A and B are shown apart, each in its own frame.
Chain A
Amino acid sequence: MNTLDSIKNKSILDLSEKYDFPPWMISRYSKYIPNLELFLDHLNQQEPNIYLRTNTIKMTPNVLCDRLSTKGFKLETTQLKDVFLIKNSPYSITSTSEYLLGYYYLQDLSSCFSVEELEISEDLSILDMASSPGGKTTFIAQKMNNTGSILALEPNRFRLKRLFYNLERCGVMNTCVWNIEGSDILNYDLQFDRVLLDAPCSCDGIIQKDITRKNTYSKESIEKCSKEQNILLNAAIKVTKPGGLIIYSTCSLAPEENELIINDVLSKYQINLEDIKYGLEGLSEFEGIQLHKSLNMTKRFYPHIHKTNGFFIAKLRKIA
């Protein structure tokens, strides 16, 4: 081991001890997270930001803002007009009548960006491949003004309950929910204008909100998830109409679940990456592997920079 390596190892061990993260995670993060110490500081010390999205099927952002303000909630605008950052809550934000009436949905801003990039208009056919608990599905529905059709897939019967509750609460009428694995969509002769794949992932992007993720996060979980993500994305591309869009997103920061998955399909299908307005550029290299040059069009979101969950979004256009 040379001097440089030993200094690096010492600093990894120091950070690991200081922030109570396993050394292997610190070592990984040092390869792809900008301002690592700031990131770890942020996770340890800052309360996660909570955002709410106005459900425009039932309510307008201005009226909602006024109503919640009179109840003592302090909201701040964001880059998206329907989404607000909750700066102050006198009591639980899910205990208001407005929440029960389906006037808003608690959803991270990063997650809203993925739907924003789906270029939604009325009367499209949209597939949501891993839909529960329904945040993105309900956002898609409101962007379509409850027209067109959404097919929402969810394999887990227990999670279906939560999904259907949210669809019902938000007044969504244009959605059909199927109880199947995302990849099983290939068994049906269907094609869609838009496909959203918010893939199941190792979820290290939400460690700030759910500290138990620190213990469940492992090299094995990354490997397991990336295999599943690969299968799902291949299916997503196959069921997209030519000219259609696929949004791939995860709440993981691991390149194996993000850029490497996209890199793999770019060489297999006639698809192009398209630019996304928000976030920092995706990685173009990881562990000595040079990735496709267009991967800088994918976007990453970091808690300490964007004040959101750790998140990744790729926007793919199917050519043929």
Chain B
Amino acid sequence: MRKPTRNELNIFYKASNHWGIFSIVNNELILIKEDTIKKQKRKLLFLISKNLENLVFFQPTYRAGLFLGTISIKKFYPSFPFFYLVNKFGINYPFVIINEEAEILYLYGRDVLGDSILEYSSGLKENCLAIIMNRNKEQLGVGRTRFSDNGITKKGKITLSNLMDLGLYHRNENKDDQSSFDLSYFID
């Protein structure tokens, strides 16, 4: 593992700021592990607690702390744990709450119908990322809006595309060599 360059750190902080958790990650130790996943070189970002500092710089370190996402040349692609932090500590982030029936379908990889949306954050724009939550406000994954907040509850229409849901782990078990998912697998 290594420390990120100033440029890599800026890319990550910009994303953290966008999702309202900059103050949470700002003073924490962030490290990068370069790894080959699906035959592609990736820079994986981790949030490391102070107690792990004496272990992470040894060569056999595979993963450590909390996996935040990956960095490509100019972009940060968040992971599930990143959105977990957003859900727990974030402020003013885009979200959509869906009903129980849609929750089950969503966790099997399906998109979301407007009918099943119970609540959403104000100012939701078309074609933006939003955290998908259930009635208990637990994060189920991330989707992309197909409509702005005016049309997001349109009946009989798919108004949110499923980008990444918690059921992914199960569906991809034994399929390839990745242990974690982030949006880089689903967004070009």
Contact = CB atoms under 8 A, between A and B. Distances in A.
A68 interface: no
A173 interface: yes
A21 interface: no
A161 B138 contact: no
B178 to A, nearest CB: 7
A179 B179 CA distance: 14
Pick from B51, B107, B177, B178 the residue with the most CB of A within 10 Å.
B51
A193 B120 CA distance: 48
Interface residues of A, number: 34
B66 interface: yes
B51 A161 contact: no
Contact of A161 (B64, B104, B166, B177): B177
B60 A100 contact: no
B127 interface: no
A168 B80 contact: yes
Contacts of A94: 170
B15 interface: no
A165 B51 contact: no
A180 B60 contact: yes
B61 A178 contact: yes
Contacts of B62: 154, 160, 164, 177-179
A178 B65 contact: no
A102 B73 CA distance: 32
Interface of A is mostly: mixed
Interface stretch (A22-30, A145-153, A211-219): A145-153
Contact of B64 (A97, A169, A176, A188): A176
Nearest to B80: A168
Contacts of B107: 97, 100
A175 B103 contact: no
B183 interface: no
Contacts of B49: 146-147, 149, 173-174
Given A97-B107, A177-B62, A168 B67 contact: yes
A177 B35 CA distance: 14
A175 B138 CA distance: 24
Interface string B50-91: 011011101011111111000000000001110010000000
A180 B58 CA distance: 11
A164 B170 contact: no
A97 B133 CA distance: 11
A164 B51 contact: no
Contacts of A180: 60
Interface in A161-210: 161-165, 167-169, 171, 173-180, 184, 188, 190
A101 interface: yes
A173 B170 CA distance: 22
A149 B51 contact: yes
Contact of A151 (B55, B80, B81, B167): B55
Given A97-B140, A125-B51, 13 more contacts: A100-B107, A100-B166, A164-B180, A165-B179, A167-B63, A171-B84, A173-B65, A173-B66, A176-B56, A177-B61, A177-B62, A179-B60, A190-B55
Interface of B: 47, 49, 51-52, 54-56, 58, 60-67, 79-81, 84, 103-104, 107, 134, 138-140, 166-167, 169-170, 177-180
